[in-house]
A = this chain, B = another copy of it.
Amino acid sequence: MLYVGIDLGGTGIKAGLITEDGTILAQADCPTGVERGHEAVIADMAKLALTVIEKGGKTLDDVKSIGIGLPGVQDPRTGHVPFCTNLYWHDVPVIELMNKYIDKPIYFDNDATVAGLAESVAGVSAGVKNSVFITLGTGVGGAIIIDGKPYSGANGVGSEVGHMITVIDGEPCTCGNSGCWERYASATAIIRMGREVAEKKPAGSIARAVGGDLSRITAKTIFDLAKEGDPDATELFNRYVYYLCVGIVNIINCVDPEVLVIGGGVSKAGDFLLNAVRAKLPSMVFYKAMPYARIELATLGNDAGIIGAAMLGR
């Protein structure tokens, strides 16, 4: 059987026709147009699903289910999306509305969860029973895969590893707490730290790399300078790696996965980042003489969304 996977984001919708083992047979996309409201967005998701089935030369009979990854969670009491800040959704019955157009089982889950599931089916953690996926971007998302299945917890509020408090009374977070891990381990955190250094040193290497326009500092600015051995960027990079490892160690000490996969924009720093994390961890894990999670970089990139969403119905 085949599966349709839909990756619903704030700016675009992507859909793919996917095989049992996570291979993409056909794909299509369109803009989200959040301002049109959820009914129009869901109608477009259904249309895209039918498009990729046709593009793949198949019919609805070949499809077992349709899965959706979205920037929200499922309320176990209602089965609805309780809220979705990026889409301006509130209490949306996604499954019912999709079924108006397509009479197939519909599944949905958080976008990070779906990306983690994709890696565990067709990516770097393929075949691994227990893995954790973290995505380092604007924020920090996470997915816990146990026995090959996404683990969302008893109330659907789990795997929000970005909101582990790692600094009591630390940086204020958008969630209302302070000191959340994503304030220290996201791309946003690297940019904030980079600006702080550049403000202190207006003639320093970081400020010079962006021609004095500090709003142009990105994670890549810092990583590129650190790769060249620039002292300010190296110091910042080392601090970032420590912050990143704090959360990774917390995950290892609690969830103890077989593999921990690093994805998201920051993971584009590649082996430079991976090797630094791998070098730092041994001194930080609790059981120093015991084996612990293998740390790997995600391999599926942007395709993880549609592959993982499709796999929700497996």
Contact B161 A253 (CB under 8 A): yes
If over half of A's interface residues share one DSSP class (helix, strand or loop), that class is named, otherwise mixed; here it is: loop
Q: Which residues of B contact A246 (CB under 8 A)?
A: 165, 168
Q: Which residues of B contact A285 (CB under 8 A)?
A: 157
Known: A168-B167, A246-B165. A253 touches B160 (CB 8 A): yes
Taking a contact as CB atoms closer than 8 A, the residue among B129, B151, B163 that contacts A286 in the complex is B163
Interface residues on A, range: 35 or more
Flag A141-172 by CB within 8 Å of B: 1 or 0 each.
Answer: 01010100001111111111101111110100
Q: Which residue on B lies nearest to A250, using beta carbons?
A: B164
Q: Which residues of B contact A152 (CB under 8 A)?
A: 256
Q: How many copies does the complex hold?
A: 2
Taking a contact as CB atoms closer than 8 A, the residue among B73, B161, B292 that contacts A254 in the complex is B161
- Residue A57 lies at the interface, judged by CB distance under 8 Å to chain B: no
Tell me, in angstroms, the Cα distance from A267 to B109 when the chains sit together.
36
Q: Which residues of B contact A249 (CB under 8 A)?
A: 165, 177
A56 CB to nearest chain B CB (Å): 36
Q: Which residues of B contact A156 (CB under 8 A)?
A: 256, 290
Residues of A within 8 A of B (CB): 73, 75-77, 82-83, 129-130, 142, 144, 146, 151-161, 163-168, 170, 175-177, 184, 242-243, 246, 249-258, 283-293
Pairs A-B, 6 closest by C-beta atoms: A153-B256, A158-B256, A154-B258, A160-B253, A164-B250, A157-B287
